[in-house]
Amino acid sequence: MAYSYDDQNIFAKILRDEIPNDTVYETDHSLAFKDITPQAPHHVLVIPKGKYVCFDHFANTASDAEIVDYIRAIGEVCKMLGIPPGDGGNGYRLLSNAGQDGVQEVPHLHVHIVAGRGLGRMLNPAAS
């Protein structure tokens, strides 16, 4: 696997406190903050603090501790937002874009948690 991490990406700058963010949750290995351009009433990004470009990079090279922390952090943010169907919430969608076809804008792994309205079909069939 050949991933080269760009230390100048915007989420790296957030992690170094060089630019502000609206943090909603933080752990030793993970940070969750509000998306600056929300697509729904709830739109939170969850990132690992380690230098991982995208999901497969993380899944294949992160430590077990980082992976457990990250997955738990996503679950915790869902709970904080009151959106888990199992807790009476209306549900949510998790998205993680990777690379060119995934139209990933920021080359630091992030999962989007999107919720708070009906989200329609999973993919836009008109997109190319």
Helices (H), 4-63: 10-15, 55-61
Decide whether 8 or 88 has the Cβ nearer to ligand AMP. Answer: 8
Specify whether 42 is catalytic. Answer: no
For residue 15, which of 45, 43, 44, 50 has the smallest C-alpha distance? Answer: 50
Other beta carbons within 10 angstroms of residue 33's beta carbon come to 20
Closest distance of CB 3 from ligand AMP, Å: 15
Question: Which residue number, 45 or 62, has a Cβ lying nearer to ligand AMP?
Answer: 45
Q: Which is nearer to ligand AMP, 27 or 104 (CB)?
A: 104
- Taking the complex as a whole, the smallest distance from the CB of residue 60 to ligand AMP amounts, in Å, to 19
Instruction: Compute the least distance from the CB of residue 97 to ligand AMP, in Å.
Output: 4
- Pick the catalytic residue: 29, 42, 110, 112? 110
Strand boundaries in the chain, DSSP class E: 23-26, 30-34, 42-48, 93-95, 111-115
- Known catalytic residues are 110
